Amino acid sequence: MAEQSIVSTDMTLKRLFQDFYRVPDYQREYVWGETNPKGEGGEEVDQFLADIFTEYENATQHFAPEYFVGTIVVCKGEDDVFELVDGQQRTTTSFLTICAIRDALVDLGAPVPEELKTQIAASSVDWQGATTRRLRLDLQYEDAKGILEAYAAGEAASAKRDGTRSIRNIGNAYDKVRDFLRAYFKDDPVQITRFYGYLVNKVKVIRIETPTIAKALKIFETINDRGVGLDAMDLLKNLLFMNASPDDFTKLKARWKELTDALYQAGEKPLRFLRYYLLATYDLDSNLREDGIYDWFQKNASLTGHAEAPLKFADELLAAAKAYANFASGRNANGGVEPGVTNTQILGGRAIKQHFILLLAGRKLSAANFTRLADETEKTMFVWLITGTPGKAYERRIVDAAHRLSKAGDGGFDEFEKAFASERNDLSLDFSLSIVGLHTYDTRLFRLKYVLAKLTQHVDLLAYGPSEGRSNLADYTAGSNDIEHILAAGAEAEAAAEFGEGAKDPDIVQSLGNLLLLESSINRAISNQKYSYKAPIYASSKFLLTRCQGSKDGQEVGVADRITKTVQRLQSFPDWNIQAVQSRKDYLTRLAHEVWDVAPFNKPHSAL
């Protein structure tokens, strides 16, 4: 019996859409039209159209250059419909473009070429004489099932535009084509029809037809090897399907959709997740790059088990993705409230995520130990960031710590915690210098507010103990609280005169020693007035550190209670001048060592 062959055909879009195609339900969603909440994105559709238009413009009366848009991989089914294994993004976009051209001509009252209509939908007759009318392209994955029917029927205006990711993306892509036609052809039906003629006669693809789905998946892998055309996440999905039993395709597709949905809804990049998962799970160094991930998987099937048990591996990856998405929302692996994770997000913003490697490595710890890990991570991340430790350097340390944690588990967590804390103590001097040298002009506002919020919260917790509000750092960093300049940058003449020397020096006015956390309502009331006016009003703040700024009178409530003990530790400043700023700066630096659990550096900080 002769071996079934693989057939490669160079064809125009006109020839392509003489056949019928379906995108099987295990394929990924349509993503080319994807935009963010600001409406940005979808560049692939714009680029697709712009590249074709560039060649179209080079056409003359007697010559038109051809334009190649890529390769598609198909396998013909028993009903003579081709399963589209690779190339659905460009095929779907081409189909939507033909629909949009038809709709533009209809809106202009211009004739629509009969040939165009048959490239959208047509009838076929099987060997028994039964006639079936179908679309030239059918998307069978759940996210988009049935949505192309509306566009094929000329009902784009009323087509559903929300709900699933693919429905939104298809709507965005269609709109981009309509915008392109209006912008480049100015509602001229003659020019639109001419462009259509170029599109279907001169734009070409190479269609590779295979005898089996297995061969199609293998060719898909070969064409896209090492991330050319697709990224490692898509290639990994294909790799799992290559090794899975066809009976498991539905389960595997469901797992993968749940995984990608979790990351998408959290606004996280799948490739970053995949890299962090590998660094957290296997003994790899931080030099692993995103473009090397797929190659690593190909070489390490015995380590991951993805070839032998793809469904089991997908389950493990899904659990990690759900945990990762929870970390991105400031929660623990199970979705519960976790202050250390939330606070690190406040500290670093959404751009800093390397600590997720460590959280992934510890996601199976007991709840108590994971909380300790999250707290240690917050403190250490702050020390690295505030001391200017380069991102690559602390990522290496995080990866090393993740490997140690994976080996330690719950049983060895105490020793791990001590070793991790030593990271901070090794930076004690740099930490002191960084805190004492903090200024508003060289520190990002959200991080400066984080610093003041942590210092203020720490004092409140010492005095009053935990509560729903005091234990939540977000209550301190909320917009209802301000960073108050004790001596305002735009201080009134009377305030500057009362302060004396240094009143106009930005190194004094913008330093940490001259800042405190204050409710916005109080801040508005005191404006830029002199300190002798402000200080008594600070006493009305709900924050103990702020209340004691001018005086501790009335704040002590007993002899040995925790509130009194805390108040006795605080510094107050009846007068505000350059010496007071320096003294308060030193005090806050010593307090910072306590808050972030860094071994104290005992030299007077203002003299450093």
CA dihedral 62, 65, 66, 67 (to 10 degrees): -150
- Structure confidence at residue 330 (pLDDT): 92
- Structure confidence at residue 313 (pLDDT): 96
**C-alpha–C-alpha distance, residues 191 and 209, integer Å:** 35
Residue 325 pLDDT level (bands cut at 50, 70, 90): very high
- Structure confidence at residue 588 (pLDDT): 97
- Structure confidence at residue 324 (pLDDT): 97
- Structure confidence at residue 607 (pLDDT): 35
CA dihedral 401, 404, 405, 411 (to 10 degrees): -150
- Residue, of 195 and 35, whose pLDDT is higher: 195
The mean pLDDT value for 199-203 works out to: 96
**6-10, 285-289, 450-454 — which one is most confidently predicted on average?**
450-454
Residue 549 in this model has a pLDDT that exceeds 60: yes
The residue type found at 17 is F
Kindly report, residue by residue over 86-143, the tens digit of the pLDDT.
888 999 999 999 999 999 999 999 999 999 999 999 988 877 788 889 999 998 777 7
Kindly report, residue by residue over 27-67, the tens digit of the pLDDT.
777 888 776 555 666 688 999 999 999 999 988 888 899 99
Listed by start position, the domains of the chain span: 7-223, 436-607
- Structure confidence at residue 221 (pLDDT): 66
- Structure confidence at residue 228 (pLDDT): 38
Q: For residue 363, give both structure tokens.
A: 């996601």
Residue 608 pLDDT level (bands cut at 50, 70, 90): very low
Of the candidates 382, 319, 374, 386, the one whose C-alpha atom is nearest the C-alpha of residue 342 is 374
- Structure confidence at residue 42 (pLDDT): 66
- Structure confidence at residue 558 (pLDDT): 57
Kindly report, residue by residue over 514-548, the tens digit of the pLDDT.
999 999 999 999 988 999 999 999 999 999 999 99
Residue 494 in this model has a pLDDT that exceeds 60: yes
* 203-210 β-sheet, strand order: 7-12, 203-210, 67-76, 82-86, 21-23, 137-139
Q: What is the mean pLDDT of the chain?
A: 89
